[in-house]
Amino acid sequence: MSSASTEEALSHLNKIKPLGAWSAEIKGGTVRLLRRRVPTTDNFFLDLHYDPTSGCVVGILSKPNIGRAQGQVIVDKDGQPTAGSKVQIVVCSSYDPNKKSLNSSTPTNASSRSPDAPLFPTLSEEDNKKLLLYGLYAVVVATILKMLLQSLFMISLLLLPCVYLYAIQTCPAENSFDAKKELRRVLRGHHLPENHEAKPKSWLDKTIARVGAAVTTELATGLGYEISMMVRFVCC
């Protein structure tokens, strides 16, 4: 059975680091600290003790002498094991090996925690409320996103026929397009901006450009017609 000092040290560790799953391994009257069932030190101690002066958990190395006992720091004040770092020896004046255990009816075993107990401590009621609240937030956000996506899909289905009808109504008829006329406009620079250097400015320039565009258009369309007739004659 673990001592009152060991139980106090475990209680302190579970309070500041509840996810550490702290326990004590007892062997032949000695004890060492476990964290998630892994020993924090290779050696055993006479007892474990929480030193309120330094805020550390120490392993007692010697019996008290004049109210003082030597201890090795195994967990610092922040709840971090000191394994692998330089060994630190402290003098504990608050250690009392005769302190009565508050849980004296607990049967002796190799660990102060039951083997069937969960590896991690049970979440508190407040933590459960927070988890439920976060889960509710996630469900609400997912529902809103789903509704928005469905709404956008429905809107797109409704707008598609409207866009199609608008395009049909506004699109000019095919017979309204005069290829020669549009070609002449392009050749004489009708669509060029006013400040463009190639756009005719004076009346003479506009007349020359109009005549040149008309001649070029007739030659191009006439040549194309002749070529098409020749191709049709050869093929026939």
Instruction: Tell me if residue 234 falls in helix, strand or coil.
Output: helix
Whole domain around residue 29: which residue ranges? Answer: 4-92
Mean model confidence pLDDT for the chain: 80
Residue 223 lies in a domain: yes
Domain boundary among 48, 68, 92: 92
Question: Is the separation of the CB atoms in 163 and 155 below 8 Å?
Answer: no
- Is 144 inside a domain boundary? no
Band (pLDDT 50/70/90 cuts) for residue 225 is low
Confidence of residue 47 (pLDDT cuts 50, 70, 90): very high
Domain assignment present for residue 39? The answer is: yes
- Give the residue-averaged pLDDT of 100-110: 48
With a CB cutoff of 8 Å and minimum separation 6, the contacts of 230 are none
| pLDDT tens profile 125-156 | 777 788 899 999 999 999 999 999 999 999 98
What's the structural domain count of the chain?
A: 2
Q: Which of 92, 119, 145 is the last residue of a domain?
A: 92
Q: How many CB atoms lie within 10 A of CB 133?
A: 10
Structure tokens at 106: 């607990």
Q: For 187-203, write each residue's pLDDT tens digit.
A: 888 778 878 887 888 88
In percent, the amount of the chain with pLDDT more than 70 equals: 82
Q: Is residue 208 part of a domain?
A: yes
Nearest to 81 by CA among 42, 120, 52: 42
> Would you place residue 115 in the very low, low, confident or very high pLDDT band (cuts 50, 70, 90)?
very low
Q: Grade residue 13 by pLDDT with cuts at 50, 70 and 90.
A: very high
Mean pLDDT of 68-82: 89
Cα 86 from chain centroid (whole Å): 38
Residue 129 lies in a domain: no
Instruction: Answer yes or no: are the C-beta atoms of 49 and 58 closer than 8 Å.
Output: yes
* The domain boundary residue, chosen from 47, 70, 92: 92
